[in-house]
Homo-oligomer: A and B are copies of this chain.
Amino acid sequence: MKFSCNQQELSTAINLVSKAVSSKTTLPILSGIYFETVGDQIRLIGNDLSLSIETFMSATVFESGNIVIPSRILTELIKKLPNNLIEIEVNDNSVITINCLESSFKIVGLPGLEYPELPNIEDQNSFEIDKELFSNMIKQTSFAISQDESRPILTGALLEIENSKFNMVAIDGFRMAIKRAHIKTNLNAKAVVPGKTLNEINKIMSQVESKGDLKIAFDDKQVLFTFESLKVYSRLLAGEFINYTQILPNDFKSVAKVNTDQFLTCIDRSFLMARENKNVAIKLEIKDDLIKISSSSEMGSSMEKLSVALEGNDLEIGFNPKYLIDALKVIDSEEIYLEMINNVSPCIIRPIDHESYTYLVLPCRISR
């Protein structure tokens, strides 16, 4: 195998696929990046068995072949080389020679034949969605994905397509985030994608500057995200997701309209005092067009006042401030509605401008 390519293009391709290379793997071959000549292109793959990333870059190919190159040292080395032509040659003993101007390196690789195959996903179940919109859907829901491995299905987000409506839903037992979008598709399907995959997709997409549609295809076990020459494969989570529409409350007794940023700032400061406390709760007293937000711990106490437009009953209700902060940070509307029944039933937070986002949060007990 022998080819030459540009340092910048190689560095970009390596950075993309290395996101799926685990440094902690027990299989030595997976700590490397797979290189293969395909026509006048190089195919690169990173794979940690739950997530695989494939991309292509242009090159001048002198001799076809494949090789696995240790990821960490390759990434650092290519980054430190000048923006110039790089020549890579592999001998029969899997020793890779990398030349660039007056610099020469030899790295010991592994034969490409031993590298695992990528899954084969049929194209039947697929739809397209604007890359930026999909990233935003992840940003607005992924923080509510459960970290608790005891209910594996909740460590992923539900992707649900029905009648051209596309919903992304995340639940962790204390709160739920739902983001809705419209897409053009005849597909009706459901899949639960691991939280780690969605977070990696967002990191990768933020590195790709060009705009356009992301193609999402899946079968029973696997999902494939395709954007230009980039492919991200992931396993899906098995099992039934919670019937989330059943959880959504209605018949609200108190609806408060409040400025998103001001509310976030007040809760953020109240959190400082609550953090020293094991219960972590902050108290909201909503009454007479005012929310009083208070917290206390051994360190001290806080009291914030914020004007509010309240319809319905006065209410005293406690929340874990972190759960409010997470949602308020990603809501892009100037004002929100807080929709409440009483101080033990789920509360809904939603932007006043549109219906595309719903956040449900359970109150917590306040004992003072």
Asked if A107 and B299 make an inter-chain contact with CB atoms under 8 angstroms apart, the answer reads yes
Bound-state Cα–Cα, A104 to B295, Å: 11
A347 to chain B, nearest CB (A): 23
Interface string of A301-327 (1 = CB under 8 A from B): 111111000000000000000000000
Asked if A104 and B300 make an inter-chain contact with CB atoms under 8 angstroms apart, the answer reads no
A158 to chain B, nearest CB (A): 35
- Given the known interface contacts A70-B299, A73-B299, A299-B108, the answer about A102 and B269 at a Cβ–Cβ threshold of 8 Å is no
Interface string of A79-116 (1 = CB under 8 A from B): 01110000000000001100000111111100000000
Across the interface, which residues of B come within 8 angstroms of A266, CB to CB? Answer: 103
Asked if A103 and B302 make an inter-chain contact with CB atoms under 8 angstroms apart, the answer reads yes
- Given the known interface contacts A103-B266, A266-B103, the answer about A80 and B303 at a Cβ–Cβ threshold of 8 Å is no
Bound-state Cα–Cα, A272 to B242, Å: 49
Residue total for A at the interface (Cβ-Cβ under 8 A)? 32
A14 to chain B, nearest CB (A): 14
Asked if B299 and A81 make an inter-chain contact with CB atoms under 8 angstroms apart, the answer reads no
Across the interface, which residues of B come within 8 angstroms of A104, CB to CB? Answer: 302-304
Bound-state Cα–Cα, A265 to B84, Å: 15
Bound-state Cα–Cα, A272 to B268, Å: 43
Asked if B300 and A268 make an inter-chain contact with CB atoms under 8 angstroms apart, the answer reads no
Which residues of chain A (234-270) have a CB below 8 Å from chain B? 265-266, 268-269
Which residues of chain A (337-358) have a CB below 8 Å from chain B? none
> Is A77 located at the chain interface by the 8 A CB criterion?
yes
Across the interface, which residues of B come within 8 angstroms of A276, CB to CB? Answer: 73
Asked if A300 and B106 make an inter-chain contact with CB atoms under 8 angstroms apart, the answer reads yes
Across the interface, which residues of B come within 8 angstroms of A81, CB to CB? Answer: 269
> Is A76 located at the chain interface by the 8 A CB criterion?
yes
Query: Which B-chain residue is minimally distant from A102 (CB atoms)?
Result: B305
Partner of A80, one of B76, B108, B269, B301: B269
Query: Which B-chain residue is minimally distant from A70 (CB atoms)?
Result: B299
Interface string of A271-284 (1 = CB under 8 A from B): 01100100000000
Partner of A301, one of B70, B105, B273: B105
Across the interface, which residues of B come within 8 angstroms of A96, CB to CB? Answer: 300
Across the interface, which residues of B come within 8 angstroms of A273, CB to CB? Answer: 73, 105
Interface string of A7-23 (1 = CB under 8 A from B): 00000000000000000
Interface string of A286-306 (1 = CB under 8 A from B): 000000000000111111111
Going nearest first, the 6 A-B pairs with the smallest beta carbon separation are A107-B300, A102-B305, A104-B303, A106-B300, A106-B301, A105-B302
